[in-house]
């Protein structure tokens, strides 16, 4: 027993054990606690940086005051899936701003109510998970595409606060630019 304890201590000195078996406790704003593998958590650059500051601490627990439990679980679901199914890096000339290339799993993942979708944008931004931020922003952008102004207002509960004169001015300007 002493022998294996010594080996264990030696290996943890060298960081071999801590590196690959460490899990991280994440705590949401409403006190939900989730334990995840370090590699999953580190898909968030914010968490990765926090972990670096906590290097050497035996049981790292990270509080995320800006993320509710519900959203945290969604984010972890995303990170777990993408860690297991990394997207192949395509040709360099790929247009980062196209929105018609969302993967099927990601499409399904984003089939949530609007409030959740916007909360995911905020969480992805706070946690600094670029692929998730791009995905959620693209999803909202796709909800705008192909709609008239009135349809956009209805979809997102936006008030039409133009005066009649303003609305006419904008309409005219757009009309000039639209004729092709």
128: DSSP letter: T
Phi-psi category of 73—alpha, beta or left, where left has phi over 0 and alpha has psi -120 to 50?
alpha
Helix boundaries (H) for 25-113: 38-41, 45-53, 69-84, 104-109
* Dist CA 179 CA 52 (whole Å): 56
Binding string, residues 128-167; x marks residues near other proteins by CB under 8 A? -----x---xx-xx--xx-xxx--xx--xxxxxxx---xx
Query: Does residue 169 belong to the site contacting other proteins (CB under 8 A)?
Result: yes
88: number of Cβ within 10 Å: 5
Asked if 48 and 59 touch (Cβ cutoff 8 Å), the reply is no
Q: Which of residues 95-134 bind other proteins (CB under 8 A)?
A: 97, 99, 114-115, 118-119, 121-122, 125, 133
Number of residues that bind other proteins (CB under 8 A): 41
Complex with other proteins: residue 17 or 117, whichever CB lies closer: 117
For other proteins, the binding residues (CB under 8 A) are: 93, 97, 99, 114-115, 118-119, 121-122, 125, 133, 137-138, 140-141, 144-145, 147-149, 152-153, 156-162, 166-167, 169-171, 173-174, 176-180
């Amino acid at each position: 027993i002493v022998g294996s304890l010594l080996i264990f201590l030696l290996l943890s000195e060298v960081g071999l054990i801590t590196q690959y078996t460490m899990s991280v406790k994440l705590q949401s704003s409403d006190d939900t606690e989730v334990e995840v593998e370090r590699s999953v958590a580190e898909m968030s650059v914010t968490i990765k940086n926090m972990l670096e500051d906590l290097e050497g601490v035996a049981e790292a627990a990270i509080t995320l005051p800006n993320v509710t439990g519900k959203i945290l679980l969604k984010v972890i679901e995303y990170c777990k899936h993408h860690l297991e199914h990394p997207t192949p890096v395509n040709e360099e000339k790929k247009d980062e701003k196209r929105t018609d290339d969302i993967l099927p799993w990601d499409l399904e993942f984003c089939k949530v109510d609007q409030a959740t979708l916007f909360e995911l944008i905020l969480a992805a931004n706070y946690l600094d998970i670029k692929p998730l931020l791009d995905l959620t922003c693209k999803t909202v952008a796709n909800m705008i595409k192909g709609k008239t102004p009135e349809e956009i207002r209805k979809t997102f509960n936006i008030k039409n606060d133009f005066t009649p004169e303003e609305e006419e001015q904008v309409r005219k300007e757009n009309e000039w630019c639209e004729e092709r």
